[in-house]
Amino acid sequence: MRNIWSPDLSALSGIIQELNPSKIILLVDENTHDRCLPHLIITIPELDGAEILEVPAGEETKSLEIASELWLGLNDLGADRSSLLLNLGGGMITDLGGFVASTFRRGMHFIHIPTSLLAMVDAAIGGKTGVNLGPYKNHIGTFCPPQATLVSPVWLETLSQRQLLAGFAEILKHALIADENYWQESSCVSEMTGDHLTPLLERSIEIKEALVLEDPEEKGPRKALNFGHTIGHAIESLSLQSEHKLLHGEAIGLGLIYETMISEKRGLISSEESERILATLKMWYADLPHETSPDKWWPLMLKDKKNRGDEVNCTLLKGLGKAFINQKLELEELRGISIA
Ligand SMILES: NC(=O)c1ccc[n+]([C@@H]2O[C@H](COP(=O)([O-])OP(=O)(O)OC[C@H]3O[C@@H](n4cnc5c(N)ncnc54)[C@H](O)[C@@H]3O)[C@@H](O)[C@H]2O)c1
Ligand SMILES: [Zn+2]
């Protein structure tokens, strides 16, 4: 796996020449088809004559049914193991395309070109692929790194502020669990724009990549990446049943706030550190409408994939820039925290 920083995308030509694929197929959703594909095709001459597979945008597309249609599509196009699937899109496309490519004829070449902020710093890094199985998120999938993930900030220009803010939560998480200086830099961002966010991309990718390399099977250190996600996932799920549906990253922004508060309550971080962290997090995420009652979160938290037995297992902070994994949470301690 290679994560390649290539603002002008030019590195792609070299990788394609190196792989010398029998055929190139581009996977896009309807938005990346319109917003990103024209620029990519104009920029990379090697894509002249590439085939295109387009799927609807949205999380519902990340399914076995669509994967099956894509396998048939690849077959109809005459793809073989030495063909190359280029996944151009957000995390939905990189997860789905990675899954389809890693299983088609026991695995064909694939490259991710993440176009959402969340995919650039998170979904396209680390080699996890997958689709949802009915209500079960990412239930079917593979650990299979792409030949390369090619990151360019050029795609940030067409993303909505809301999508940028969602991806930014994972950047802030990376800073909080791994790098105080990087937190300092990230907390200075004053606007959700490509210009402000671009300087943060490389370090975020580096942090996730290092944790993945250290712990490919998610047995220990990689659990640091779950910070904000125990409460965040519960808030996300509850929002999806309400009229104020949150994006994953928005819910994680809220999860980071609450889990920072718990870290402080346990004396793992000082009140000065907590204040510093919360000033930034709250500025961006505190106003998002969401379920604030821990009693409502709790049933969902009990079902969290990351639990051990029937204990709720969480990652907290132990100082700014340091994660503290495998912490058991109790409902009672959640009841006292409030975002107000
Ligand atoms: N594999 C992993 O390790 C991992 C990690 C985190 C998240 N994920 C997965 O990632 C997915 C979420 O990713 P996401 O937030 O990128 O969602 P997404 O792929 O659905 O993209 C969000 C929206 O932005 C649009 N879009 C993407 N790039 C654009 C661009 N440049 N301009 C305009 N519109 C654009 C998409 O069409 C979509 O409507 C989830 O399925 C989640 O499970 C995977
Ligand atoms: Zn996340």
pLDDT above 80: residue 1: no
Q: What is the pLDDT of residue 53?
A: 98
CATH code, residues 161-335: 1.20.1090.10
Choice from 95, 211, 237 to test ligand 1 binding pocket (greatest atom count within 8 A of CB) = 95
Integer CA distances (angstroms), 71 to 66, 77, 99, 107, 149, in order: 9, 10, 10, 11, 22
Judged by DSSP in three states, 290 sits in: coil
Cβ proximity of 243 and 296 under 8 Å: no
Which ligand 1 atom is the nearest neighbour of the CA of 117? Answer: 16
Judged by DSSP in three states, 23 sits in: coil
The ligand whose atoms approach the alpha carbon of 174 most closely is 2
CA of 249 to the centre of ligand 2 (A): 6
Q: How confident is the model at residue 136 (pLDDT cuts 50, 70, 90)?
A: confident
Q: What is the pLDDT of residue 217?
A: 78
Q: What is the pLDDT of residue 81?
A: 97
pLDDT above 70: residue 15: yes
CA distance 321 to 183: 8
pLDDT digits over 145-188, tens only? 999 999 999 999 999 999 999 999 999 999 999 999 999 999 99
Integer CA distances (angstroms), 326 to 49, 54, 281, in order: 50, 41, 23
pLDDT digits over 240-277, tens only? 999 999 999 999 999 999 999 999 999 999 999 999 99
Q: What CATH class does 3-158 carry?
A: alpha beta
Ranges of each domain in the chain: 3-158, 161-335
Report the mean per-residue pLDDT for the chain. 96
Catalogue the long-range contacts made by 304-308 (C-beta closer than 8 Å, 24 or more residues apart).
Answer: 304/230, 304/233, 304/234, 306/223, 306/226, 306/229, 306/230
Closest residue by Cα to atom 7, ligand 1, is 123
Cβ proximity of 74 and 48 under 8 Å: no
CA distance 83 to 25: 8
CA of 295 to the centre of ligand 1 (A): 30
